[in-house]
Amino acid sequence: MEFTDLKAQYAALKTSIDLRIQRVLEHGQYILGPEVRELEEALAKFTGSRHCITVASGTEALLIALMALDLKPGDEVITTPFTFAATAEMIVLAGGRPVFADIEPDTCNIDASRIEALLTPRTRALMPVSLYGQVADMDEMTAIAARHGLAVIEDAAQSFGALYKGRRSGALSTFGATSFFPSKPLGCYGDGGALFTDDDRLAQAAREIRVHGQSGRYLHTRVGVGGRLDTLQAAVLLAKLERFDWELERRAAIGARYERLLAGVAGGTVVERVAVRPDRNSVWAQYTVKLADRTAVQAALQAAGVPSAVHYPKPLHRQPAYARFAGADPCPVSEREALRVLSLPMSADLTEADQDRVVRALAAAVQATGTPGTPGTPAAAPAATAA
């Protein structure tokens, strides 16, 4: 069993993927070839955004967004500590200072009600993360931003395709930034990402920044980076888009089935799951449960041949590289949930038989370790699924 079954996905799309790649090999335009523009048009239409700017990775998308907004040294960006390091990493690399706001205990997304207490004259932007495939409370955050003259960057690395009040993730704020890391809901065969915006000026800035700040060949009008999505990855993504709507339906069905199966396991013991708000859905980038003794449960799953991963075992304000940014919000919810969360196998090609096997193994492990209660010791996330 695979944690994310990319092999089955490739088998289903082999003809289309191979043909798309072959076309690139034949025309030889490996950088900003015609597939890149075709992909950007398709993604903009899918999200409902005016502009899509493809980039080299989801991480690069965050950096380019901050650079396009002209973040200055010492400017503050409010974000969540319960995320992959890239979120805060790009704020720091752009010269800014991450300010951490704690999360909601049920969704594990940033708690919008904690944001205004953290605002200072140096606050420049908000960077919520749409974690596990579910969009954060974007309307509340864009309202805060409007009151205080701030930009909002949605870190949508895990939520591409998700709906929030009828609108697509990525098209909900100043910038939306997503990732096409292979295990993401829409993934390529390497690194890749995209930015979405309705602002013509910011879109132009992002396009220039991704090609070393060039507004024309060898005319550098701003400081930039080498941040382009290569044409081969665009070709893979175009092929995968052909069945993406079906994959979103499958993810929804598999997530709903997990919900039903886990509502009562191990003699009636309910396994707590990450909640999904009624005004939005989740694309289940990860299907995540919360456990008292995660270490023992994860070990039991491994012994049963069931893969799992921890997203994320230590919040950023407790990481050595970012501990100096721990601030006014002590983020106790993030610290508690980091001890409890465990992600189960999830992909559009997960079979019911494998899903049943996962649930049986989890039920046996929960029953053996007792009813959920006080969190146990955090386990390390497997390196291959940590992003």
pLDDT over threshold 80, residue 75: yes
Q: Where are the alpha helices (DSSP H) in 149-241?
A: 200-209, 231-241
Distance, CA of 74 to CA of 119 (rounded, Å): 14
The whole-number pLDDT of residue 369 equals 80
Per-residue pLDDT tens over the stretch 136-187: 999 999 999 999 999 999 999 999 999 999 999 999 999 999 999 999 999 9
Residue 356: CB atoms within 10 A of its CB come to: 12
Is the model's pTM score more than 0.85? yes
The whole-number pLDDT of residue 267 equals 55
55, HSE (Cβ side, Cα atoms, 13 Å): 34
pLDDT over threshold 90, residue 55: yes
CATH 3.40.640.10 residue ranges for the chain:
6-241
- Tokens at 182, concatenated: 């292979």
Q: Give mean pLDDT, residues 341-359.
A: 97
- CATH-assigned architecture of domain 244-385: Alpha-Beta Complex (3.90)
pLDDT over threshold 90, residue 362: yes
Query: Across the chain, what does the average pLDDT equal?
Result: 94
Which of 76, 88, 5, 51 is closest to 323 using CA atoms?
A: 88
The whole-number pLDDT of residue 173 equals 98
pLDDT over threshold 50, residue 324: yes
Contact 177, 153 (CB under 8 A): yes
pLDDT over threshold 70, residue 364: yes
Contact 154, 173 (CB under 8 A): yes
CATH 3.90.1150.10 residue ranges for the chain:
244-385
At residue 10 the predicted structure's pLDDT band, cuts being 50, 70 and 90, is: very high
Q: Where are the alpha helices (DSSP H) in the chain?
A: 6-27, 34-47, 58-68, 86-93, 138-148, 200-209, 231-241, 244-262, 294-303, 332-338, 352-369
Q: Are strands 193-197 and 214-216 parallel, antiparallel or unpaired?
A: unpaired
The whole-number pLDDT of residue 387 equals 38
Contact 199, 174 (CB under 8 A): yes
At residue 268 the predicted structure's pLDDT band, cuts being 50, 70 and 90, is: low
The whole-number pLDDT of residue 385 equals 36
The whole-number pLDDT of residue 375 equals 43
Distance, CA of 281 to CA of 185 (rounded, Å): 14
pLDDT over threshold 50, residue 384: no
Q: Give mean pLDDT, residues 258-287.
A: 88
Fold of 6-241: Aspartate Aminotransferase; domain 2 (3.40.640)
Distance, CA of 126 to CA of 141 (rounded, Å): 8
